[in-house]
Structure 1
């Protein structure tokens, strides 16, 4: 195991008051092997899984080794079925409204295509849209004669609700696609208020919740979305290659996949097939059974920990990081002033963000650089080439936070000398 250098105790006491006790951080660290290998601040990319999640994956791979993939899958059929219920409880939906995917990008693509945007219709997208989804939206625009409109934003770069109201009031058929929390900043969109407008004007509301499920409280009925897609690997702490979607029952019944698969469809006769009545109609047969078992464990762990408690801890810790980083000369916070999330983005004057992230990695502090190519409608629009992104999770303790602050202060001094 890699040793982690001790953070400066005086600085720790000066700038890092104790984090609230709603989460048992010591227990989370005990359950998370990687928490002792480095100061890991990349939950928004791929959070550290618990030992139980990893064991679920490895144990099933061993079962496949002994029995074969199909036979092993048959043996854990009930456990896979339980994943749908776990996801539904976390989101406030029913199990038949859940579909499983290999990634959020796949889920977003499959479900947008199933909506079949027609020529002359309109898609309104938030500026916080992630690159993969944005590229798909632009492809649909160009190939299907669909108008693509970027939702107007307010002074904090959130969707401007009054301006959106005015846009939707014309009654045109509209798909409204919003990223709850972007990859490129700590912004949080007013998703419930947007849902109210979508329902008022009959727009189909698709929510990209890849950075919010497991991070913030999510209730699909309260939000009012027709579709929600999220990934497993981020704040849910599930394996890579896992994702899930909520598709409102009436919405699912009105849609059909553009590429029906044996998983969700039945070939009845030479030119006749039927699709499942549940959201599983959008799934494909092939999947990582081991990964989905790990996803199920992660979903249950998130529920047992408590989403309200987790959200409170994460947003408070994100706020603490912003306050501490803001005090360092040469560091500029890139988030909206009133951000309430655990995603913290910043610039270090004199250092490209990728170089800053590499220098922090040398100190065993794991952050990432997010380039404008991952969010041109946001970072590109702000003329920011890239940002450093730090995203804590419940396994980060005061020594981790102190190491991050100390490391940024150190590299900021280097940047000032350039």
Structure 2
């Protein structure tokens, strides 16, 4: 990405730095029809898909229209099978360790329940946990007598590794559930180091990677988690209603599903059944095949683009957007110190975050307002009612970023004059 022209930089009262050229942004924009419709900074909510992803979805729906859903699914069976391999290639695992879901929330619920946390056992959760998963955890605490503990944080709101080790060292059966990157800030948890502690003390380690797969370089072997769950619609740029999980092969045999389905189980006589030896034991028969084909295309595109290159470009762009926003009078960056991701959160003095988001939308700049109700253990704990979140992707160019900065600066100036 080239630097923004001096005139644009002057209008924003901030300098847009140079970003490296490891990603061909112009090509990504040509592949992404929505890139010309608005200045889209909501990859952390639902990123813009490429035309190829959309075409795969629409083509399959047309096939279902012609021959029926089951017949169409049989016709594309090999393509659906390829999705598992593409996901495995991205995460550094085997295809039989991949399960597909309709959402990350479903995957997290199904897989956490498979651990069967018993009364008196413990779940340690990061403060970066998303609302849907937190609600499930609190329900287990209330209804099953699970001891739910929030992992202590350090001065920068990351999991405090020393304090976590002190908790784990008591030897209690523990499920450790960590959000790699939260919905409420650009924080990146030290997931590799947490994995070392989980292995050392025998804790089950479940990683919510909804904001990191397709965004950061993920290697499940290096991280050391037994389970990883992510969605398709965010940084992977797949359709809504798609998600996937990694379940470590050695762990799969120890986790029978709490609600076996014909997709991953076989009813063998009146009162017994067998379940698949792969992660597919957690899947259900009914699924949106069109969406899964779109997910497959998005995974292939991510692999071809290169996740190391993508991660480098995204984090550099996020850092530079963060610093440019920081230079605007009346704007406060809400990300904890040292946040190193493409998710940027901020506040505009005197203006509610929802109003900032709406005012930017009037300028065709797409960001979101994230309320504390989506992250009480983080935003609520910091006494922040809501934040504005901007999350770029590889289709954002310097003109997009200039419009974002100009819009925020204009909103801040208008509020300062009131």
Sort the TM-score into its range (normalised by shorter chain): over 0.9
Q: Distance in 2 between matches of 1:9 and 1:135?
A: 48
Counterpart in 2 of 1:167? 167
Could you tell me how far 1:20 is from its partner in structure 2?
Answer: 1.1
Q: TM-score, normalised by structure 1?
A: 0.97
Counterpart in 2 of 1:240? 240
Q: Distance in 2 between matches of 1:273 and 1:9?
A: 69
Counterpart in 2 of 1:225? 225
Could you tell me how far 1:11 is from its partner in structure 2?
Answer: 2.3
Could you tell me how far 1:9 is from its partner in structure 2?
Answer: 5.7
Counterpart in 1 of 2:254? 254
Q: Distance in 1 between matches of 2:337 and 2:24?
A: 29
Counterpart in 2 of 1:210? 210
Is 1:10 the equivalent of 2:7?
A: yes
Counterpart in 1 of 2:281? 281
Counterpart in 1 of 2:127? 127
Q: Distance in 1 between matches of 2:283 and 2:98?
A: 10
Structure 1, residues 55-92: CA drift from partner, whole Å, max 9, x if none? 00000000000000000000000000000000001000
Unaligned stretches of 5+ residues in structure 2: none
Counterpart in 2 of 1:265? 265
The question of whether the paired residues in 2 share the 8 Å contact of 1:15 and 1:324 is answered with: yes
Q: How many residues align?
A: 412
Could you tell me how far 1:338 is from its partner in structure 2?
Answer: 1.1
The question of whether the paired residues in 2 share the 8 Å contact of 1:8 and 1:402 is answered with: no
Counterpart in 2 of 1:4? none
Q: Distance in 1 between matches of 2:5 and 2:66?
A: 50
Q: Secondary structure at the match of 1:28?
A: helix
Could you tell me how far 1:380 is from its partner in structure 2?
Answer: 0.2
Counterpart in 2 of 1:70? 70
Q: TM-score, normalised by structure 2?
A: 0.97
> What is the RMSD of the two structures over their aligned residues, measured on CA atoms?
1.0
Q: Secondary structure at the match of 1:254?
A: coil
Structure 1, residues 272-329: CA drift from partner, whole Å, max 9, x if none? 1110000000000000000000000000100000001000000000001111000111
Q: Secondary structure at the match of 2:253?
A: helix
Q: Distance in 2 between matches of 1:18 and 1:59?
A: 40
Could you tell me how far 1:17 is from its partner in structure 2?
Answer: 3.0
Q: Distance in 2 between matches of 1:165 and 1:240?
A: 37
Structure 1, residues 169-225: CA drift from partner, whole Å, max 9, x if none? 000000000000000000000000000000000000000000000000000000000
The question of whether the paired residues in 2 share the 8 Å contact of 1:19 and 1:398 is answered with: no
Q: Distance in 2 between matches of 1:157 and 1:210?
A: 19
Structure 1, residues 363-411: CA drift from partner, whole Å, max 9, x if none? 0000000000000000000000000000000000000000000000000
The question of whether the paired residues in 2 share the 8 Å contact of 1:38 and 1:366 is answered with: yes
Query: Residues 39-188 of structure 1 correspond to what in structure 2 (within 5 A)?
Result: 39-188=39-188
Could you tell me how far 1:8 is from its partner in structure 2?
Answer: 7.9
Counterpart in 2 of 1:194? 194
Q: Secondary structure at the match of 2:284?
A: coil
Is 1:20 the equivalent of 2:20?
A: yes
The question of whether the paired residues in 2 share the 8 Å contact of 1:125 and 1:177 is answered with: yes
Structure 1, residues 327-357: CA drift from partner, whole Å, max 9, x if none? 1111000001211100000000111000100
The question of whether the paired residues in 2 share the 8 Å contact of 1:18 and 1:398 is answered with: no
Unaligned stretches of 5+ residues in structure 1: 1-6
